């Protein structure tokens, strides 16, 4: 089984949407990623939590088969995020962020974490991302996420990280900020010239675009009648994407396209409930059924 390593955040989130609210629930980029990826592959998780992080959340991840040898429990409080969404549900408005133990986190990888075939650098400080890269032998696939806070505040360090990765997975607003243009095709050319081989742009309800050289692949988002909370959908997409690649070892263009659909499937389940509640009840048969529904949704005949 290929080793998949994720480094990112584990958090306690407080979220409000037009359809409800949730207080101090399980969140964080590494949590969403690892949960989604665990349906496809074995996952090693590297993160930090505080003394107040509930044992029930750790038990949930262990029950999903996630290796938590790299989870550090530090003195202090766990990272917290508080946000809300308008009726559009396209982007969260951050109301409060408390880094807490994350502020002083300096990752030290256990020995068996240092040779992953696949590595995902979650949305954290580029300096921490680089520290992880410096502690591993070069994986076959390295993927990365970031956000506007790092793009604006640590652009040079972020570009240094991006020279060492294969796949950058960001949303359209982040892509425009990084590429400094409103046109995503132009943005893709700028970013791909600086390091990554693939750029995957998440566009929320409008789907996903993947750029590789002069090639572009696009897919729509799965249409849903009930969307409660988009929090973690992007991280869940990345988890499904990387988890599927870890399960197959197929880095071909066709393999990456299938991985994008599996990532989109996982994200579509996440938004149906708050926190990871929908994923807790998910069965692999549900994933396969929605993958097939995705295929039917996008199918069309060629010109005769």
Report pLDDT digits (tens) over 24-42: 999 999 999 999 999 999 9
Query: What number is the average pLDDT over the span 112-126?
Result: 96
Q: With cut-offs at 50, 70 and 90, classify the pLDDT of residue 119.
A: very high
Select from 134, 235, 266, 251 the least CA-distant residue to 198.
Answer: 251
C-beta separation of 241 from 259 below 8 A = yes
pLDDT of the residue at 303: 86
pLDDT of the residue at 209: 97
* Mean of the per-residue pLDDT values of the chain: 95
> Using one digit for the tens of pLDDT, what is the confidence trace for 273-288?
999 999 999 999 999 9
Does the pLDDT of residue 242 top 90, yes or no?
A: yes
pLDDT of the residue at 28: 96
pLDDT of the residue at 304: 75
Query: What number is the average pLDDT over the span 228-234?
Result: 94
pLDDT of the residue at 253: 92
Does the pLDDT of residue 90 top 90, yes or no?
A: no
The CA distance from 282 to 298, in Å, is 24
pLDDT of the residue at 196: 96
Q: Print the SS3 string covering the chain.
A: CCCEEEECCCEEEEEEECCEEEEEEEECHHHHHHHHHCCCCCEEEEEEECCCCCHHHHHHHHHCCCEEEEEEECCCCCCEEEEECCCCCCCCEEEEEECHHHHHCCCCCCHHHCCCCEEEECCCCHHHHHHHHCCCCCCCEEEECCCHHHHHHCHHHHHHHHCCCCEEEEEHHHHHHHHCCCCHHHHHHHHHCCCCCEEEEECHHHCEEEEECCEEEEECCCCCCCCCCCCCHHHHHHHHHHHHHHHHCCCCHHHHHHHHHHHHHHHHHHCCCCCCHHHHCCCHHHHHHHHHHHHHHHCCCCCC
The CA distance from 132 to 164, in Å, is 12
- Give the other-Cβ count within 10 Å of 12's Cβ: 25
Q: Check the CA dihedral 59-64-67-70 and report its sign.
A: negative
The residue assigned the tokens 């799965």 is 222
pLDDT of the residue at 301: 86
pLDDT of the residue at 88: 75
Does the pLDDT of residue 102 top 90, yes or no?
A: yes
User: With respect to CATH, is domain 4-297 assigned 3.40.1190.20?
Assistant: yes
Q: With cut-offs at 50, 70 and 90, classify the pLDDT of residue 185.
A: very high
pLDDT of the residue at 302: 84
Does the pLDDT of residue 22 top 90, yes or no?
A: yes
Query: What number is the average pLDDT over the span 237-241?
Result: 98
The CA distance from 131 to 207, in Å, is 32
pLDDT of the residue at 111: 96
The CA distance from 164 to 28, in Å, is 24
Query: What number is the average pLDDT over the span 130-141?
Result: 96
Q: Check the CA dihedral 77-72-55-280 and report its sign.
A: positive
pTM of the model: 0.96
pLDDT of the residue at 92: 81
Query: What number is the average pLDDT over the span 64-92?
Result: 92
Name which residue leads in pLDDT, 128 or 302. 128
Q: Residue 221 to residues 42, 50, 156, 166, 268: CA-CA distances in angstroms?
A: 26, 36, 33, 24, 8
């Amino acid at each position: 089984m290929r080793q998949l390593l994720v480094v990112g955040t584990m958090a306690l989130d407080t979220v409000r949407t037009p359809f409800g609210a949730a207080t101090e629930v399980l969140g964080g980029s590494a949590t969403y990623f690892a949960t989604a990826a665990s349906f496809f592959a074995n996952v090693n998780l590297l993160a930090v939590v505080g003394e107040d992080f509930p044992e029930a959340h750790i038990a949930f991840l262990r029950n999903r088969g996630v290796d938590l040898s790299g989870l550090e429990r530090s003195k202090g409080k766990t990272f917290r995020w508080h946000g809300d969404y308008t009726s559009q549900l396209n982007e969260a408005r951050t109301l409060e962020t408390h880094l807490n133990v994350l502020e002083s986190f300096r990752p030290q990888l256990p020995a068996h974490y240092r040779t992953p075939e696949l590595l995902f650098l979650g949305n954290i400080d580029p300096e921490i991302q680089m520290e992880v890269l410096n502690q591993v032998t070069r994986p076959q696939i390295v993927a990365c996420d970031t956000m506007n806070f790092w793009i604006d505040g640590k652009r040079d360090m972020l570009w240094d990280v991006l020279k060492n990765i294969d796949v950058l997975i960001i949303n359209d607003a982040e892509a425009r900020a990084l590429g400094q243009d409103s046109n995503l095709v132009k943005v893709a050319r700028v970013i791909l010239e600086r390091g990554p081989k693939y750029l995957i742009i998440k566009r929320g309800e409008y789907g996903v675009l993947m750029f590789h050289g002069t090639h572009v692949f696009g897919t729509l988002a799965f249409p849903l009648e009930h969307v409660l909370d988009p929090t973690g959908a992007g991280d869940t997409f990345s988890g499904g994407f990387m988890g599927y690649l870890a399960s197959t070892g197929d880095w071909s263009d066709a393999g990456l396209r299938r991985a994008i659909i599996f990532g989109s499937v996982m994200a579509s389940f996440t938004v149906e409930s708050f926190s990871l509640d929908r994923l807790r009840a998910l069965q692999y048969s549900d994933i396969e059924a929605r993958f097939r529904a995705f295929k039917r949704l996008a199918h069309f005949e060629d010109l005769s």
